[in-house]
Chain A
Amino acid sequence: MSAPTRTASGREARLGRSSRPADPTGSGAAPTPAPPRRRRSAESRRRLVALGMLAPALAGLAVFFAYPLVASVFYSFTRYNQLQEPQFVGLLNYRFLFTQDPQIGPAVLNTIWFVVILVPVRIVFGLLVAGLLSRAKTMTGFWRTLFYLPALVPPVASVVAFVFLFNPGTGPVNQILRVFGIDGPLWFNDPSWSKPSLVILGVWVMGDIMIIFLASLLDVPRDLYEAASLDGATGMQQVRHITLPTISPVIGFAAVTGVIAALQYFTEAAVASSVASGKATIGGGTAALLGYPGTSLLTYTELLYQHGFANFQFGYASAMAVVLFVVTAVVLVFTLRRISVFRPEADQ
Chain B
Amino acid sequence: MSLPRPTIRRIVTATAVAATGALVMAGCSSGSSAASIDESAPKELKGTVSLWHFFTGREAGVVKSAVDGFEKANPGVTVDIHAGQDDEKLQKAISSGQNIDVGLSYSTAIVGSFCSSGAFRDLSPYIKRDKVDLSDIPKAVQGYTAYKGKRCTLPALADVSALMYNKAAFAKAGITTPPKTLDELKADGLKLTTYNADGSIKQLGFNPLIDFYENSPEHFAPMINGTWLDKQGNSEIGTSAAWKKLITWQKGYVDAIGYDKLKAFTSGLGQEFAADNAFQTGQVAMQIDGEYRTAFIKDQKPDLDYGTAPTPVLEGVGNYGSTYIAGNVAGVAKGSKNPELAWALLKYLSTNTDAQVTLGNGLKNIPTITSALQSPDLEVDANYKTFVDVAGDPKTITSPATADGAAYIGTFTKFWQAYQQNGGDLDAKLKKLDSDIDNANQLAGP
Contacts and interface: CB of A to CB of B under 8 A. Distances in A.
B421 A66 contact: no
Contacts of A66: 14, 18
Instruction: Tell me the interface secondary structure of chain A in the complex.
Output: loop
Contact of A83 (B91, B106, B439): B91
A87 interface: yes
Closest 6 CB pairs of A and B: A169-B268, A83-B117, A189-B267, A71-B22, A168-B267, A312-B113
Contacts of A278: 212-213, 266, 269-272
Given A62-B18, A280-B271, 12 more contacts: A67-B25, A81-B113, A82-B95, A96-B440, A96-B443, A170-B268, A189-B266, A283-B54, A312-B113, A312-B404, A313-B444, A315-B443
A79 B417 CA distance: 30
A260 B23 CA distance: 29
Given A310-B405, A316-B443, A67 B107 contact: no
B118 interface: yes
A56 interface: no
Interface string A70-93: 110011000111111111010011
A81 B267 contact: no
Interface stretch (A9-17, A204-212, A291-299): A291-299
Given A190-B263, A311-B404, A74 B19 contact: yes
Interface in B405-439: 405, 407, 410-411, 413-414, 417-418, 421, 432, 436, 439
A284 B443 CA distance: 22
Interface residues of B, number: 63
B267 A96 contact: no
A186 interface: yes
Interface residues of A, number: 58
Interface in B7-28: 14-15, 18-19, 21-23, 25-27
Contact of A96 (B25, B29, B91, B442): B442
A190 B264 CA distance: 9
A27 interface: no
A283 B421 contact: no
A310 B31 CA distance: 21
A166 B228 CA distance: 38
A71 B26 contact: yes
Interface in A143-171: 167-170
8 contacts: A71-B22, A82-B92, A83-B94, A102-B432, A167-B267, A167-B268, A169-B264, A312-B113
A25 interface: no
Contacts of A85: 26-27, 30-31
B30 A310 contact: no
B149 interface: no
Given A100-B439, A186-B264, A84 B106 contact: no
A70 B266 CA distance: 47
**Which of A96, A100, A283 is packed against the most chain B CB atoms within 10 Å?**
A283
A65 to B, nearest CB: 10
B18 A291 contact: no
Contacts, number: 152
A71 B19 CA distance: 7
Interface in B35-68: 54
Interface in A271-308: 275-284, 287-288, 291-295, 306-307
Contact of B265 (A75, A102, A103, A169): A169
Contacts of B271: 275, 278-280
A309 interface: yes
A187 B264 CA distance: 10
A292 B263 CA distance: 13
Nearest to A66: B18
Given A82-B30, A102-B436, A280-B271, A291 B414 contact: yes
Contacts of B354: none
Interface in B59-86: 86
Contact of A186 (B15, B19, B267): B267
B273 A102 contact: no
Interface in A221-243: none
A311 B213 CA distance: 22
Contacts of A168: 264, 267-268
Contacts of A281: 272-273
B109 interface: yes
B269 A169 contact: yes
Given A284-B87, A294-B417, A311-B407, A79 B443 contact: yes
Interface string B82-122: 00001110011011000000000011010001101111000
Nearest to B26: A86
Contacts of B397: none
A173 to B, nearest CB: 12
A284 B106 contact: yes
